[in-house]
Amino acid sequence: MEIVITSSTSELASLGADVVQATLARKPDAVIGLATGSSPLPVYAELGRRVAAGTMSFARVKAFMLDEYLGLPLDHPQRYRTEIDEKFTYVVDIDPANVHGPDGLTADVPGTCTAYEAAIKNAGGVDLQIVGVGTDGHIGFNEPGSSLASRTRIKTLNEQTRRDNARFFGGDLSAVPIHCLTQGIGTIMDARHILLVALGEAKAEAIHQVLEGAVTSRWPASILQMHPHVTVLVDEPAASLLQLQHYARDTFANKPSWQGF
Ligand code: F6R
């Protein structure tokens, strides 16, 4: 696991975009996993700038979203597909038909989840999965207590997560859906490379527990310790409780130039 503590959001955005660009340089038709929420936004914006500058292209890329709220109407601004389209799809040059997400309006939840798993598999699996982390340690919407081997399914959102996300719903907790569809932890762990992005002091405890604590469903993202290829990009506030932050800084400062991401 590579942990990079960045000194600014723009440095984090640039390194995150470097990770994506390295993936596409190796495999122009890569499959990318997309997180919604605030954490990846600087990276998506930087990817948009690089596409506009002609230095990279998503023309052959397929993308799979991590999760979706259950029951939000198609025209709801907080529907994750709407968010991803605004912040990623229409910002880069990906074909919108190649962006997939769980159908939050399905009448057949189990069938939709099984089909989503099959679609990821048929695409060849995810080459690079971008994830954020919840203040309670969730990845995707796999809340504490989730099976570490879980696949795409319905989950009930933790009240803490709904409170955290109420900011996107005008501060109205009752407007935040209670259920979602999310890739499982086993699904996420199948990705060949995982990029975790976390910003802000509110994530400090989760980042400490997830990266330095025990591997436990109490902090679901801690399973990433078991993955062979994880890149973590954090800002100083999110890294502030890391006990091994000096080692992370030394390692990155002395990273061999050939190594890349
Ligand atoms: C979003 C997702 C969530 C978020 C997490 C952090 O698709 O799967 O796990 O990554 O809730 O959200 P932000 O980035 O808004 O702090």
Contacts of 194 (CB under 8 A, 6+ apart): 128, 129, 131, 188, 224, 227, 229, 230, 231
pLDDT for residue 259: 94
pLDDT band at 237 (very low <50, low <70, confident <90, very high): very high
**Residue 22 CB neighbour total at 10 angstroms:** 15
**CA 257–ligand 1 middle distance (angstroms):** 32
pLDDT for residue 57: 98
The average pLDDT across 170-187 equals 97
Instruction: Report the distance separating Cα 38 and Cα 18, nearest Å.
Output: 19
pLDDT for residue 170: 95
**CA 132–ligand 1 middle distance (angstroms):** 5
**CA 39–ligand 1 middle distance (angstroms):** 7
Six-digit token pair at 124? 């060849």
Q: Which atom of ligand 1 is nearest to the CA of 40?
A: 14
The average pLDDT across 223-228 equals 98
pLDDT for residue 51: 98
pLDDT band at 185 (very low <50, low <70, confident <90, very high): very high
Q: Which atom of ligand 1 is nearest to the CA of 41?
A: 14
The answer to whether residues 108 and 72 touch, using CB atoms and an 8 Å cutoff, is: no
Instruction: Report the distance separating Cα 81 and Cα 100, nearest Å.
Output: 8
Q: Which atom of ligand 1 is nearest to the CA of 131?
A: 10
pLDDT for residue 198: 98
Residue 226 DSSP class: G
Helices (H), ranges, 166-203: 185-189
> Would residue 143 show up in a list of annotated catalytic residues for this protein?
yes
- Residue burial 67-83, b: 16+ Cβ < 10 Å; e: rest: bbbbebeeebebbbbbb
Six-digit token pair at 35? 């997180």
pLDDT for residue 215: 98
Give the pLDDT confidence of 5-57 residue by residue, as tens digits. Answer: 999 999 999 999 999 999 999 999 999 999 999 999 999 999 999 999 999 99
> Would residue 179 show up in a list of annotated catalytic residues for this protein?
no
pTM: 0.97
The average pLDDT across 179-184 equals 98
Residues in the ligand 1 pocket, defined by CB under 6 Å: 35-39, 66-67, 132-134, 138-141
Q: At what angle do helices 41-52 and 9-26 cross, to 10 degrees?
A: 60
pLDDT band at 137 (very low <50, low <70, confident <90, very high): very high
Give the pLDDT confidence of 64-98 residue by residue, as tens digits. Answer: 999 999 999 999 999 999 999 999 999 999 999 99
